[in-house]
């Protein structure tokens, strides 16, 4: 019934791992000519067309092909039984970098990486040391998504203050670290801009069925929420639809969702495409974070906010200042868990 259940599960423990990755030294491998380099991707069961990070990873792969001139191989798993054989296939085909998209791969990658010590693997949204046996040929591509959450939360706070809103809300797909860190950042940012703001949060336990997220957002708007932040992939589009119909603002997630209409205040970004392309470019130069993580943050351009709507543009200056403060480290220790 849920053939295309868009479940993209991911791990974070980002705060702890930021420190870890700073400590981890990049091991050097020899440089490879781009024309002889193959970038492989295995997408999880959410599918390449998930409007979320499978799709962004695929975009990054296509960009790497266009800009760096590497060859690509894409395999899309239709069930978790495909994970091990597909990773194996790309390793056996001699791909230079095999990217597993998401936490779902954690067990499979642990098995395969051990069998192919010469192949380099990367896993998205997951710290490398979460993998059993901590293999040295795996790097994690993690995201400080609480920063993106903080930024869109801060903007929501500013808009609320200006318009006299008392309540804003978020709809999460599931209580998992990659979702929670967005929401924790959102609440912290909102509170920083408007300390009196009230936050509602609920989970749909679904990443696909829009009707569910729409119902939850409807309930929240009924309780006074004026801005709805969706962190639920395809399901969350329903939350944005509710915002549109009830005259509230919506905030998109992962990719820029401003194309949905003028009611999208902005989007909290997780630029998986940039991360994939950057990891490829590094490896071409012989740089690989063996057993460590490449942490994507506002500093690397991996997190941030998307296109601002007319209302958001009024606060563009203040928002840019906050972004600079996060970058400089003036704003730090943004929470990753919702209290």
Partner 1 sequence: MKLPPSVSRTGRALLVPLTTVVIAFVVAGLVMGLTGTNPFKTYVSIFDGTGLNWLFPWVGGQTRTIASQDLQQTLVATAPLILTGLAVAFAFRAGLFNIGAQGQYTVGSVLAIWVGTSFTHMNPVLHIVASIVAAALIGGAWAALAGWLKAVVGTHEVISTIMLNWIAIWVATYLFQENGPLQGKQALGNPVSNTLPNNVHLPVFWGNPALQGLDVGIFIGLAAAVVFWAIMNRSTLGYEVRAVGHNPDAARGAGINVARNYVVTMAICGAFAGLASSVDVLGWQFQVSTADISGSQVGFLGIAVALLGRNTAIGTVAAALLFGALETGTAADNINASVINPELAPQLTLIIEGLVVLLVSTDLIAVRLLGLPRRLGLGRPEPGADLAQALEPDDAAAQAAAVEGFDAGPATTGL
Partner 2 sequence: MTTVTKQPPRVAAPTTKQIGIVAVVLAAIAWVLTLPPIMARTPVPSIVLGVTAAVIGVAVLRDSNHRRLGGVTVAIGLIAIPLAIAMTNQTSANVREVFTWSAVVASGLTFATPLIWAALGGIISERSGVVNVGLEGMMLVGCYFGIFGADVCSSWVLGMLIGMASGGLLGLLHAYFSIHLRANQVVSGVAINLLATGITGYLFVAHYGDNGTPGTLPQVPNVTLPVIDHITFLDDAVGRQTNLLTWVGLLLVPVVWWYLFRTRAGLRLRAIGEQPRAASTVGLKVVATRYGAVVTSGMLAALGGVYLSDGFDGSFNFDMTDGRGFIALAAVIFGKWNPFGALAATILFGFSTALAYRLQTFSQTLGTLFQALPYVLTLIAVAGLIGRSRPPAASGIPYVKE
Options 24, 130, 159, 322; binder of partner 1; rule CB under 8 A: 130
Site for partner 2 contains 27 (CB under 8 A): no
| Beta-bridge partners for 121 | 98, 138
| 193-222 residues near partner 1, rule: CB under 8 A | 205-206
Among 24-32, 85-93, 148-156, 267-275, the segment contacting partner 1 (CB under 8 A) = 85-93
**Considering the complex, what minimum distance in angstroms separates the CB of residue 31 from partner 1?**
26
138 close to 155: Cβ distance less than 8 angstroms: no
Residue 163 touches which member of partner 2, partner 1, none, C-beta under 5-8 Å by kind: none
CB atoms within 10 A of CB 303: 29
Check the CA dihedral 121-91-99-179 and report its sign.
negative
Site for partner 1 contains 223 (CB under 8 A): no
Site for partner 1 contains 12 (CB under 8 A): yes
3-state secondary structure of 42: strand
Here's the x/- map for partner 2, 35-74, by CB under 8 A: it reads as ------------x-x-x---x---x---------------
CA dist., res. 154 & res. 249, Å (int):
14
DSSP 262: T
**Considering the complex, what minimum distance in angstroms separates the CB of residue 306 from partner 1?**
23
Options 24, 57, 70, 84; binder of partner 1; rule CB under 8 A: 84
Tokens of 208: 């696909």
Tokens of 305: 């906010």
Site for partner 2 contains 234 (CB under 8 A): yes
CA dist., res. 69 & res. 66, Å (int):
6
Residue 180 touches which member of partner 1, partner 2, none, C-beta under 5-8 Å by kind: partner 1
* Dihedral in degrees, nearest 10, Cα atoms 189, 299, 124, 240: 40
Residue 268 touches which member of partner 1, partner 2, none, C-beta under 5-8 Å by kind: none
| 54-83 residues near partner 1, rule: CB under 8 A | 58, 72, 74-82
Among 124-132, 180-188, 259-267, 298-306, the segment contacting partner 2 (CB under 8 A) = 259-267
| 274 HSE (CA, 13 A, CB side) | 18
Tokens of 139: 């790097």
Give the C-alpha distances (Å, rounded to integers) separating 299 from 138, 142, 192. Answer: 23, 13, 21
147 close to 326: Cβ distance less than 8 angstroms: yes
Options 26, 85, 224, 335; binder of partner 1; rule CB under 8 A: 85
4 close to 47: Cβ distance less than 8 angstroms: yes
Here's the x/- map for partner 2, 199-218, by CB under 8 A: it reads as ---xx-x--xxxxx-xxx-x
3-state secondary structure of 177: helix
117 close to 27: Cβ distance less than 8 angstroms: no
CA dist., res. 38 & res. 51, Å (int):
25
Options 139, 180, 273, 293; binder of partner 1; rule CB under 8 A: 180
Site for partner 2 contains 176 (CB under 8 A): no
Angle (nearest 5°) at CA 190 between 189 and 192 = 65
Site size toward partner 1 (CB under 8 A) is 47
Residues that bind partner 2 (CB under 8 A): 1-4, 6, 47, 49, 51, 55, 59, 175, 202-203, 205, 208-212, 214-216, 218-219, 222-223, 234, 237-238, 241, 244-246, 259-261
Residues that bind partner 1 (CB under 8 A): 1-3, 5, 7, 9-13, 45, 47-49, 58, 72, 74-82, 84-86, 88-89, 92, 103-104, 107, 111-112, 114-115, 130, 132, 174-177, 180, 205-206
């Amino acid at each position: 019934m849920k053939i295309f259940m868009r479940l993209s599960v991911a791990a974070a423990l980002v705060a702890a791992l930021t420190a870890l990755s700073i400590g981890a030294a990049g091991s050097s491998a020899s440089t490879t000519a781009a024309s002889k380099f193959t970038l492989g991707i295995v997408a999880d069961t959410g599918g390449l067309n998930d409007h979320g990070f499978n799709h962004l990873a695929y975009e990054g792969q296509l960009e790497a092909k266009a800009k760096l001139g590497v060859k690509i191989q894409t395999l899309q798993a239709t069930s978790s039984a495909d994970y091990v054989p597909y990773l194996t296939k790309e390793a056996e085909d001699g791909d230079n970098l095999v990217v597993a998209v998401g936490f779902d791969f954690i067990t499979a990658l642990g098995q395969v990486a051990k069998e192919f010590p010469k192949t380099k693997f990367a896993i998205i949204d997951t710290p490398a040391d979460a993998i059993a046996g901590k293999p040295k040929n795996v790097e994690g591509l993690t995201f400080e998504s609480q920063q993106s959450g903080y930024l869109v939360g801060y903007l929501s706070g500013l808009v609320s203050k200006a318009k006299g809103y008392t309540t804003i809300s978020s709809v999460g797909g599931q209580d998992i670290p990659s979702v929670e860190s967005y929401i924790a950042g959102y609440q912290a940012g909102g509170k920083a801009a408007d300390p009196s703001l009230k936050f509602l949060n609920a989970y749909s336990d679904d990443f696909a069925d829009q009707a569910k997220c729409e119902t939850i957002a409807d309930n929240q708007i009924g309780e006074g929420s004026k801005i709805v932040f969706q962190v639920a992939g395809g399901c969350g589009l329903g939350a944005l639809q509710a915002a549109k119909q009830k005259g509230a603002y919506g905030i998109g997630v992962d990719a820029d969702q401003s194309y949905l209409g003028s009611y999208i205040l902005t989007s909290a970004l997780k630029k998986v495409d940039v991360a994939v392309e950057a990891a490829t470019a590094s490896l071409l130069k012989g740089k690989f974070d063996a057993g460590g993580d490449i942490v994507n943050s506002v500093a690397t351009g991996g997190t941030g906010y998307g296109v601002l709507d007319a209302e958001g543009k009024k606060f563009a200056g203040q928002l840019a200042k906050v972004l600079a403060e996060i970058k400089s480290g003036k704003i730090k220790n943004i929470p990753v868990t919702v209290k």
